[in-house]
Amino acid sequence: MATSPPVKLAFRQGPLQLPRISPYKSPEDSEKYTLSDVLGYRGITAVTGFDVKTRWSHLQPDGVLILFRGYRWDGPSGPAVDTLLTMMPSALHDELYRMRKLGLIPKNTRRLADYTYRDALKTWGVPTWRRALHFRAVFHFGGLYSRVK
């Protein structure tokens, strides 16, 4: 099992409220969900030191990733079952992988994206055994889906 990087994530304490998510399906892409909450979603990541703005997101230098209304993603990948508890962690992870693939953040941030996913799953209350399965899957196979040229 891989060890964590020397980064301590500080997720907010207290009950989490799932933002509004709408189903989305288009023949042109594999995205399944759209963030339809007016406020969007704000999450903490282990990827710090970058100020990256896109149409659907903003990664701040302190590691805060803001996903705006209209952001689309495919939910947890692989054999994982899409549940309410895994929706927002998968959105953070997918956006970090997308930024990496587009060259907006360095390619060596992949593991930090994986650790962000693992810690976000814990914050959302995903059981330990399930978190471990999700994390192992992205840690070992995530590179297949996010090849950086």
Q: What is the pLDDT along the chain (149 residues), one digit of tens a residue?
A: 444 443 333 344 444 566 777 666 665 666 788 888 777 888 999 999 999 999 999 999 999 999 998 898 888 876 667 788 888 999 999 999 999 999 999 999 999 999 999 999 999 999 999 999 888 888 887 766 656 55
d(CA 116, CA 110): 10
Q: Would 10 be classed as within a structural domain?
A: no
- Kindly state whether residue 123 falls inside one of the protein's structural domains: yes
- Structural domain count of the chain: 1
With a threshold of 0.85, does the pTM exceed it? no
Residue 8: inside a domain:
no
- Amino acid letter, 116: T
Long-range contacts for 2-9 (Cβ within 8 Å, ≥24 apart)?
2/111, 2/139, 4/115, 5/46, 5/111, 5/112, 5/115, 7/46, 7/48, 7/112, 7/115, 9/44, 9/45, 9/46, 9/63, 9/115, 9/116, 9/119
Indicate whether 91 belongs to any domain. Answer: yes
d(CA 111, CA 14): 27
In a domain, 66, yes or no: yes
Domain that holds residue 104: 21-143
